[in-house]
């Protein structure tokens, strides 16, 4: 509800006027969350394996609810930046949810489970920008922060009273607790996991380099007319609508033909659909391109999560997902900063082309690092 309008919040509420300055600040503020997330996610992952995933989920949800409400009181870009960094420090709701589900799902059903989980997240991604756009036009931007914080708190209470976790605290305490660095060394020795971490970084970098500038691009296509926030939110939701439908379908298909193949095909498709976004000269054309993009996005994050579970030793699921979350955060951090810095020279259309190249190179990386290894293992057996 708030991320798609961060640029507008800076422009209309905090008084920034220069387009390049807005782009740079939007990139920095968006990335600030992931600077601290990159550092703290492995630490929370260690505690999740020690004290339980549900506890970490509640810690994150309630903490983020408070911080996001405070963002609605910001008066300078610096306030937003510092609060976003605090949000990254205490975040971890999604990795905890992924680890919680992965620990209780049979491996041969992991693709479907992760695809279904992705659908739940994408449903929020669809409704968030859409409802946020309606509210922004009706009541302004600050109340959206208050509502978002309230919804996060409600989600945490839902998890508290409804979500069940089978976690043996005594058994976890009896295990030798290795340090974050030692856990990283052990997981780093698994070639497939390091390859998947690289894939996660490249996906997020390609996706996020243009994400924070998308509202400004909609503004340039639509013009400074009525319902601007609504159209920006609609464009932000377009990929989520198709993603919602595609994620469980592709997840189920990955259980049948292999997650590595679905990941490779999805990366190629996503890369190609960035090209018409760069060529779009109207909002409807951009909407259609984003909708098609969402179909292929349904085969990215859920498939990576499924493959991480496949190659992770039992008992280290939270560690593995927390390191992947850190890698995701690194991509979310570097992508917007790079996009904001480059926007003054190549524009958002150039950023779309850059994202297309990154996705296609990522597909080549998957082919070399995962698919070839799988074929060699198949021949050896």
Q: How far is Cα 45 from Cα 244, in angstroms, rounded to an integer? A: 27
> What are residue 243's phi and psi, to 5 degrees?
-60, -40
Tens digits of residue pLDDT in 302-347: 888 888 888 888 777 777 887 887 788 788 778 888 888 888 788 8
CA quadruple 311, 254, 197, 48: dihedral, nearest 10? -60
Helix then strand then coil, in percent of the chain rounded to 5, is: 85, 0, 15
Give the tens place of pLDDT for each residue, 356-374. 998 999 898 888 877 665 5
Cβ count near 76 (within 10 Å): 12
Round to whole Å and give the CA distance between 270 and 219. Answer: 24
Q: pTM (2 decimals)?
A: 0.68
Residue carrying structure tokens 């903490």? 63
CA–CA dist 63, 55 (Å, integer): 12
How far is 184 from 42, CA to CA, in rounded Å?
9
For 154-167, what is the HEC assignment? HHHHHHHHHCCCCC
Q: DSSP letter for 1, please.
A: -
User: What residue ranges define each of the domains in the chain, with the CATH number in brackets?
Assistant: 3-160+176-380 (1.20.1250.20)
What pLDDT digit, counting tens, does each position of 172-194 carry? 666 666 677 777 788 888 888 88
Using CA atoms, how far residue 82 sits from 72, 79, 86, in Å, is 13, 5, 6
At 381, the pLDDT band (50, 70, 90 cuts) reads very low
**Residue 187 near residue 315, CB atoms below 8 Å:** no
Mean pLDDT of 182-209: 84
């Amino acid at each position: 509800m708030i991320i798609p309008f961060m640029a507008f919040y800076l422009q209309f509420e905090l008084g920034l006027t220069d387009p390049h300055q807005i782009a740079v600040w939007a990139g920095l503020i968006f990335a600030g969350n992931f600077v601290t997330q990159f550092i703290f996610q492995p630490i929370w992952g260690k505690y999740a394996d020690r004290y339980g995933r549900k506890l970490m989920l509640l810690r994150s949800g309630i903490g983020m609810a408070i911080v996001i409400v405070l963002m609605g009181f910001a008066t300078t870009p610096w306030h937003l930046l510092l609060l976003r960094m605090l949000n990254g420090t205490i975040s971890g709701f999604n990795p905890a949810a992924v680890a919680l589900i992965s620990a209780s799902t049979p491996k041969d059903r992991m693709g479907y489970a992760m695809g279904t989980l992705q659908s739940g997240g994408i449903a929020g991604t669809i409704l968030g920008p859409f409802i946020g756009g309606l509210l922004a036009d009706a009541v302004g931007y600050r109340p959206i922060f208050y509502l978002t914080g309230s919804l996060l708190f409600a989600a945490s209470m839902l998890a508290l009273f409804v979500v069940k976790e089978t976690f043996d605290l005594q058994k976890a305490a009896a295990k030798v607790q290795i340090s974050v660095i030692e856990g990283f060394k052990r997981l780093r020795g698994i070639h497939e996991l390091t390859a998947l971490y690289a894939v996660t970084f490249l996906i997020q970098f390609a996706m996020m380099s243009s994400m924070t500038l998308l509202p400004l691009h909609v503004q340039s296509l639509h013009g400074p007319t009525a319902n601007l926030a609504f159209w920006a939110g609609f464009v932000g939701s377009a990929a989520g609508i198709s993603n919602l439908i595609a994620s469980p379908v592709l997840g189920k298909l990955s259980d049948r033909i292999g997650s590595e193949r679905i990941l490779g095909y999805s990366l190629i498709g996503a890369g190609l659909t960035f090209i018409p976004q760069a060529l779009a000269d109207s909002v409807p054309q951009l909407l259609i391109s984003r909708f098609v993009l969402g179909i292929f996005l349904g085969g990215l994050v859920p498939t990576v999560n499924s493959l991480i579970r496949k190659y992770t030793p039992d008992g280290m699921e939270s560690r593995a997902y927390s390191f992947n979350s850190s890698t995701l955060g690194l991509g979310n951090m570097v992508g917007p900063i790079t996009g904001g810095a480059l926007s003054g020279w190549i524009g958002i259309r150039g950023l779309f082309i850059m994202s297309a190249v990154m996705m296609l190179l990522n597909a080549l990386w998957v082919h070399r690092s995962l698919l070839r290894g799988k074929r060699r293992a198949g021949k050896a057996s």
